[in-house]
A and B are shown apart, each in its own frame.
Chain A
Amino acid sequence: MNPVVLPRSLFIALGFLLSLALLLSLALGPVSLPLLDTLNGALRVFGAPVGGAELDQAELIIGQIRMPRTLLGLAVGAVLALAGVAMQGLFRNPLADPGLVGVSSGAALGAAIAIVGGASLGGVPEAFAPYVLSVSAFAGGLVVTALVYRLGSRNGQTSVSTMLLAGIALTALAGAVIGLFTYLADDATLRTLTFWNLGSLNGASYARLWPLLVVTVAVGLWLPKRAKALNALLLGESEARHLGFDIERVKRELVFCTALGVGAAVAAAGMIGFIGLVVPHLVRLLVGPDHRVLLPASALAGAALLLFADVVARLALAPAELPIGIVTALIGAPFFLYLLLRGRA
């Protein structure tokens, strides 16, 4: 295989876009801060002794609200896009998204159990409530994905198409159980569930950020190691096997990385659609199917897109806030249609 030739201009462009997104995410919000205050506030967050008491407000807004939110957006966007690449590579289908192996519906089921079950048990203690929801969503995603993987495997061989069908069946099943919980829920619980399904970076805090950051870094380091195997998979499974790749192991790793990454992202920010589907697609259009480029480029683009979407989400209706899932779908769905129509022409 050829040594990887990174298209430098693409990465410069993506790096620029991501920097711009980071800057906007730190600088823009319903509270308008002068640019200089934003800079000084950010410096203060990192411990630089600048300015006086007049910067306290800026430091608080940047340090406690915008910084954790920006980091959350960065991690969620990157990990969803990476998982999207892994799934589209595994299923050899550009329409695959991380939801196919059941991780999204499993997480939604976990969340429904936590929200509705928690409410009907008289509520979990206030301090634990967000953690119960996150842990339950994460566990739900992992369990359903593991089931899908088990159903797709026979005699040590994993059939991707069986896995796909098992994923569809378990998604439908999870949907039915979520529907039942929706029916049982009271009004207030129902709204919590609805909003959770639309995703949000609102209320991000460092305490809930670290697990996701660790997972994102791990997945971001691990998946590129399997880029060559993903490239070989494009030729077909048996071809990849003949090229000397341990395909069963690669499949296992891809599914595990997806479940871990998407599970952690969903647990931290709720359901955010379209990043995992549209971003890898978009990047593939720009740079072609070489996963050695596709993986890092998608991570950068996913993070940038999610941060831009979040800036829109927090400014569009300020001082209220749009769930970010609405914004990503508003951007993603028309773009996806455009891709479909373009392909037909």
Chain B
Amino acid sequence: MRVSVRLASLCCAFVLSQTVLAADTLPQRWVSAGGSITEWVVTLGGQGKLVGVDTTSLNPADLKKLPSIGYQRQLAAEGILSLKPDLLVGSEEMGPPPVLAQVKNAGVTVESLSTKADLPTLEHTLGRIGTLLGEPSRAANAFADYQQRLKQQAEWVSAAKAGTAAPSVLLLLSHAGSSPMAAGQDTLGAWLIERAGGRSVTTHSSYKALSTEALLALDPEVIIFADRSIAGAEAKAALLKQNPALAATRAAKNDRLLAIDPTLLVGGLGPRVPAALATLGAGFYPAAQPLTADAKPQP
């Protein structure tokens, strides 16, 4: 009898100590690599724990104040260790593998999360980040909300499509307007176009430069442009100036050029994607009532 009581209390003590430990052992110093992963860490309230980010983590802008650990595929073990992190979290592109092994050997937890553009993957990614932050319910809510917004977006698109045919859309990624690269079928750019209710006109894969003639032959109704060095109206003017042939497309004639932040095009489904989809959708179907109030068509 006495033994079993002792055993029970021991068990209790053990369980208690385990739970306390679990709260204590949550990683407090985070290094994050991969734009959308970092954005999710921030969205789920982990910005205060970040002690370093990679060069693809550009949003929100004040992350630039943190030490940079370099490009996510070319990490250096000692540089990361000098930040004394408990956790290195990042996309599956993070590497090279020998460096990750060295970081792991030094006792840092390494969490590689997939950034594939689908909801089950996102659910897993958010779940892991939530658990590591000690905020599992916040992560679950964020995912449910995300799912809801994408569902509303899909419903909005099918309603809008009932009225008019889906516009043909070309996404161009350029640098100060010059040498634009067109988003191919397997890119996140094409994914965004489809989800916003458009029809991507390209047939190639990844990002490729198109000849002027090919551009004219595609003759898209809408052009989305993402510029890495300048933004807004200035980028639009630069694009048209550097590529005079664009002026002959339906998109330019009807002034249907939409801007998009190029950081949305890498690293999978980030927290800003639903809002971007709503904005693009409003641009694709100017006659339809926009999904959200702030999704006004671009000027």
Contact = CB atoms under 8 A, between A and B. Distances in A.
A330 interface: no
Interface in B195-229: 205-208
Contact of A57 (B74, B93, B106): B106
A31 B69 contact: no
Contacts of B102: 64-65, 203, 205
Interface residues of A, number: 35
A185 to B, nearest CB: 8
Nearest to A66: B78
Contact of B81 (A30, A129, A200): A30
B68 interface: yes
B74 A200 contact: yes
A188 B187 CA distance: 12
Interface residues of B, number: 31
A203 B77 contact: yes
A151 B279 CA distance: 61
Interface in B73-118: 73-74, 76-83, 93, 96-99, 101-102, 105-106
A191 B77 contact: no
A60 interface: yes
A65 B78 contact: yes
A85 to B, nearest CB: 31
Nearest to B82: A30
B153 to A, nearest CB: 26
A163 to B, nearest CB: 35
A309 B207 CA distance: 35
Residue from the set B67, B79, B105, B206 with the largest chain A CB neighbour count within 10 Å: B79
A319 B96 contact: no
Given A191-B73, A205-B98, A321 B207 contact: no
A17 B68 CA distance: 32
A130 interface: yes
A314 B78 contact: yes
Contacts of B207: 186-187
Interface of B: 52, 55, 67-71, 73-74, 76-83, 93, 96-99, 101-102, 105-106, 205-208, 266
9 contacts: A30-B81, A60-B106, A65-B81, A65-B102, A66-B78, A186-B205, A186-B206, A188-B93, A203-B76
